[in-house]
Amino acid sequence: MSGRGMLVVVSGFSGAGKGTLMKALLDRYDNYALSISATTRAPREGEIDGREYFFVSRDRFEEMIVQDALIEYAQYVNNYYGTPKDYVFSQMEAGRDVILEIEIQGALKVKERFPQAILIFVMPPSGRELKTRLIGRGTESMEVIDARLKRAAQEAEGIEAYDYILVNDKIDQCVETMHQLIQIQHLRAGENEEFITRIREELKNL
Ligand code: 5GP
C-alpha cells in the first residue's frame, strides 16, 4: 500500500479547541507532522521563531511568494500567513501525514491545488459553548470575544467546502475520531495506485 503521507487541513473557529486537539494528536501518534507557517505578524509573548511560526518581514514574505516557496498564502487582519513547501513535502515523502492548521481562504487554495487533501473543520458542540470557552479562557476582553464570535459566524458560511466536520466535545474521543478519519483516507483507491498496478500485473501473469 502507499507509503506516502497525506495533506490534512484543519480549520475551526477561534475557541473551538483546535490547538489542544492538534497537540493531543501529535503527542499520541508519531505518524503526523505539523506544518510551521511563515507570517509577517509579530510574535506574541512566549512564541518562538521556528516553533509556532517563522516570523519574517514583509519583504522576505513577498520574496517567498515570488520564489513559489509557499503551498498557499493568505492575508489575515493585515498580515500575511503562508505554508512553506519544503518541510511539508519532505515530511510527506517520509510517510508522515502533514497537518496544516490554517484559515479558510488558504484551505480552499490547498483543495484547488491538491484535490486529494482532506479538509476538516473543527466545530464546538454549540454556539453557546464556543462563547463559554472563549470567556473561560480569560485571555480576551469582552469586545474581542464579540469580534471573534462575529468572525465565527462569517466563517461558518464556508463550512460546506470542507470534507468533514468534527465536533470537539470530549477531547480524547475527538482525537481518536480524527486519527481514524485520517487513517481511513489511506485506503482510498486513488491513494494506492502503485499497489493496484502491481496486483493487476500479478494477476495477468498467473
Ligand atoms: P494567529 O495570528 O491567531 O496565530 O492566526 C490567525 C489565523 O491565521 C488562524 O486562523 C490560523 O489558522 C491562520 N493561519 C496560520 N498559519 C496560516 C497559513 O500558513 N496559511 C493560512 N492561510 N492561514 C494560516
Beta pairing partners, 49: 53
62 Cβ inside 6 Å of ligand 1: no
Q: How far apart are CA 71 and CA 166, in angstroms?
A: 24
- How many A from CA of 37 to the centre of ligand 1? 8
67-118 residue pLDDT tens: 999 999 998 878 899 999 999 999 999 999 999 999 889 999 999 999 999 9
Give the predicted TM-score (pTM) of the model: 0.89
If you write DSSP's letter for every residue of 46-73 in order, what string do you get?
Answer: T--BTTTEEE--HHHHHHHHHTT-EEEE
Pick the closest to residue 52 from 39, 36, 40, 64 (CA basis).
36
Q: CA-based angle 87:89:92, to the nearest 5? A: 105
Q: Report whether residue 54 contacts ligand 1, using a CB cutoff of 6 Å.
A: no
Q: What pLDDT does 1 receive?
A: 60
**189 C-alpha to ligand 1 centroid (Å):** 32
Q: Per residue of the chain (206 residues), what is the pLDDT tens digit?
A: 657 899 999 999 877 888 889 999 999 999 999 999 999 999 988 899 999 999 999 999 999 999 999 999 998 878 899 999 999 999 999 999 999 999 889 999 999 999 999 999 999 888 888 888 888 887 778 887 888 888 888 888 899 999 999 999 899 999 999 999 999 999 999 889 999 999 999 999 99
Q: Is the CB of 91 inside a 6 Å radius of any atom of ligand 1?
A: no
Helices (H), 56-186: 58-66, 85-93, 104-113, 127-137, 142-155, 171-185
Residue count of the chain, please give it: 206
- Of 45, 102, 113, the one to substitute when testing ligand 1's pocket (max ligand atoms within 8 A of C-beta) is 102
Measured distance CA(49)–CA(56) in Å, rounded: 9
Question: Taking Cα atoms as reference points, which of 67, 73, 38, 31 lies closest to residue 53?
Answer: 38
Residues 143, 121: Cα–Cα separation, whole Å = 25
Query: Which pLDDT score, from 0 to 100, does residue 45 have?
Result: 83
Alpha carbon distance 196, 202 (integer Å):
10
